[in-house]
Structure 1
């Protein structure tokens, strides 16, 4: 009997956390009991990566199975700059890209996204246009509050129409950090699971709460409960939500045929100081292509299929979730494009590990590559002195000469090489004249040459901005009497400082 002959449910939990935020890897005792239990009952993947050190491109890669340089989630306005989808962005996920949600829908799955979308907020880019049947959440980050004159507050959608806005109908206190949003997201997940269980229907749930993304928020029952301050309160509430979702799967008898995967879309934001997470031993954080920016927490849970208590060092990425989901559903992606994901089923079910590369992109530039335990940096850059002087530092407290550079430094002729097994913090580069360096670089250069030979960049989606495309009048605003008048269209090249 093949996978397509059984009812498989898929649940992705995408929380913005770093490796050091899990109790199993350094959090104070009992801060993440449910995630710790999830890892003990399943598999912990210690060498798991996102596809980009920033949220929007990572999410696009997860859902398309393709690197951002292929699916268009990058910019060519300036070299090696991170881009995402703020309100001013004109672009979004292209119709030419085929999302896992679309393919699962064709295979008979009921799909729902809960939380932040971040693949474009104009109507043509929203989730229900791309294979999702249900959505409760927002298209952008919950920055604000705004004045709704110069900048509109971010809308919250239920289905295809907005049902209010952050800071107005969905309160987030900037003073105390109190908000009930995570509880709403948990309730939506439990309701969705109940309905699909009652219908006996396969489903794909993409649970993407954003409470750990600044500004932080937690509900009243969790505020002040953690030794890590507000950030710890947020993590505790998200951990509780994960526990409730897994418990509901068990209660509905769905746990033994549901693959649940927990991960993050980028490393913890070091720039947030006391309001951010921890990347443990890894260098720097979000926005960078050092390990702290792209090496992510990852837990796979599937009782009766994934044996408990396993640890894997298989090199893997968020794009593998695309391929893994399709294999389980018996769905076949279009054959006219290159995919960067590989099925994780041999690893999850049999503990198999194979050699493969990981590519670290920042905008339009391949900054680094990893193969085996070796990682080579072709370019290094954190962020500039102008930003550092304002307190914006993506490597806060970590300064390694020649590595955490404040200018873009080209090491292509003699890449910086690290052995991540004995130096996971990328602090001690291997000497170029050594035999170890020469042998490792031969293989890494082969891998990069093969990758570049088959690379066809997509049309960049992060080049153009326009204040007229912000969330002035989202679908459904007229029913609420909440449409806002925006400015005239004046497109301009998006400025990306990082």
Structure 2
């Protein structure tokens, strides 16, 4: 989803009444970011509280390339990473993930090996249908065992876009909440639905109801799901003791053109380190704790969820590793604000830094030139000369500077000869130098691919007679072209 997909952020179709109400009842964070412009590293960063360059969710096969966890990936979240659900589990919480995991699909990387007690969803995106000969259909899991596959047991109609998956995910959530309310045990629910990811889907009730087409239909159903979850929290008497946070893993995929989402006034989209790729919709909700109708311009990150939840739960932060997330507890409860830098990575490359209202691009790269020949690119209709470059361009000596307060679309560069540039840039360069000097990179987990590790025979397949025979192992270096 994009920043601009919420009605409260200006989407004129007003397809998100429940999310808009959630914002009115809590806090809207306008300057909130992912840690990557792509799904897998963003999710790894959120659950670890650490940049992908630290937790290993990147590739160094080539400079500055986004990498994720398709079926052929060999790696996944490192066992040395300490994830949020692991810490919560150690402190008595019951944890469930619903939807897409995307931190590795081999069994050792699955959610129940990393702090979750329950899982209903998939380790990968819902791409397909596959032929089950060269590429298997993606499995859907109930805890440790698969219970079927997309396009076989869990249908997604590619022609009409109809699927009841979001409805299944909603029911899983409300049932889990009821069970936890009855048990009296603290809980953590990670509701990671993916209907707005291509190929976009919605259930019959929502298909054809949006002015924006199928993508808007999916947004409307997702919003409905948020409403059902919040209603259940209130109905069960949990609202005053439950913190709820809504966001997205990266910006809307502008490569989908009019069939995709909205990043509002921001430049480009998913895959890029421009604002449209990494600035996310964000809402915090906690009746009685977070005052209603609050707006915060505090710089925030998905990595802050890690530290914020530990603060709210009264759990000490791990001291044996560097955390990039900062607790937003005081921001959410008291609407305070503090200075902090944010770093924009594309793979192993630090592309930009933000501090206060200023953003400095050390590198620029929009859509790779070869992709422009076959798609509308990552920045359709938004060419900015010398900024949305089709090749990697190094600006490290003289970074490109924008003031995001008066120029959120990154269209008007501050001239290097100006007093403003000369006053601001030394401080930004010092922040970058300190960051690089202190950075300890994790071992890259997304370098190697192998057709043999695809979802041929996931755990539980034998019970369903759905095991497939894969090819012999033949590892190769993954080729990331974006």
Q: TM-score, normalised by structure 2?
A: 0.99
SS at match of 1:211: coil
Q: Which moved more, 1:196-205 or 1:326-335?
A: 326-335
Q: Is the 8 A contact 1:214 1:275 kept in 2?
A: no
Q: CA deviation at 1:29?
A: 4.6
Q: Deviations over 1:408-458 (max 9, x none)?
A: 000001000000000000001101011110111111111111111210000
Partner residue of 2:93 out of 109, 128, 151: 109
Query: What's 2:40 paired with?
Result: 56
Q: Is the 8 A contact 2:6 2:14 kept in 1?
A: no
Matched, 1:496 2:476: no
Matched, 1:128 2:112: yes
Q: Is the 8 A contact 1:107 1:330 kept in 2?
A: no
Matched, 1:351 2:335: yes
Q: Is the 8 A contact 2:257 2:376 kept in 1?
A: no
Q: Is the 8 A contact 2:98 2:193 kept in 1?
A: yes
Q: CA deviation at 1:30?
A: 3.9
Partner residue of 1:189 out of 162, 173, 190: 173
Question: RMSD of the TM alignment (CA)?
Answer: 0.7
Matched, 1:206 2:179: no
In structure 2, distance between residues paired with 1:398 and 1:30: 24
Q: Deviations over 1:217-251 (max 9, x none)?
A: 00000001111110110000000000000000000
Matched, 1:454 2:454: no
Query: What's 1:75 paired with?
Result: 59
Query: What's 1:407 paired with?
Result: 391
Q: CA deviation at 1:274?
A: 2.2
Please show how residues 208-357 of structure 1 align to structure 2 within 5 Å. 208-357=192-341
Query: What's 1:3 paired with?
Result: none
Matched, 1:439 2:420: no
Query: What's 1:65 paired with?
Result: 49
Matched, 1:19 2:36: no
In structure 1, distance between residues paired with 2:106 and 2:216: 34
Matched, 1:391 2:401: no
Q: Is the 8 A contact 2:48 2:81 kept in 1?
A: yes
In structure 2, distance between residues paired with 1:28 and 1:316: 26
Query: What's 2:80 paired with?
Result: 96
In structure 2, distance between residues paired with 1:69 and 1:384: 22
Matched, 1:177 2:161: yes
Q: Deviations over 1:115-170 (max 9, x none)?
A: 00000000000000000000000000000000000000000000100000000000
Q: Give the gaps of 5 or more residues in structure 1.
A: 1-16
Q: Is the 8 A contact 1:355 1:371 kept in 2?
A: yes
Partner residue of 2:146 out of 162, 168, 175: 162
In structure 2, distance between residues paired with 1:465 and 1:302: 43
Tell me which stretches of 4 or more aligned residues in structure 1 moved more than 6 Å: none
Query: What's 2:350 paired with?
Result: 366
Q: Is the 8 A contact 1:89 1:462 kept in 2?
A: yes
Q: Deviations over 1:28-71 (max 9, x none)?
A: 35411000000000000000000000000000000000000000
Q: Is the 8 A contact 1:282 1:292 kept in 2?
A: yes
Query: What's 1:425 paired with?
Result: 409
Q: Deviations over 1:325-365 (max 9, x none)?
A: 11122222331110001111110000110000000000000
Q: Deviations over 1:86-105 (max 9, x none)?
A: 00000000000000000000
In structure 2, distance between residues paired with 1:313 and 1:406: 32
SS at match of 1:157: strand
Q: Give the gaps of 5 or more residues in structure 2.
A: none
In structure 2, distance between residues paired with 1:227 and 1:28: 10
In structure 1, distance between residues paired with 2:250 and 2:334: 28
Q: Is the 8 A contact 2:13 2:211 kept in 1?
A: no
In structure 2, distance between residues paired with 1:436 and 1:28: 36
Matched, 1:35 2:19: yes
Query: What's 1:480 paired with?
Result: 464
SS at match of 2:284: strand
In structure 1, distance between residues paired with 2:125 and 2:258: 20
Q: CA deviation at 1:376?
A: 0.1
- Equivalent pairs, count: 482
In structure 1, distance between residues paired with 2:326 and 2:447: 30
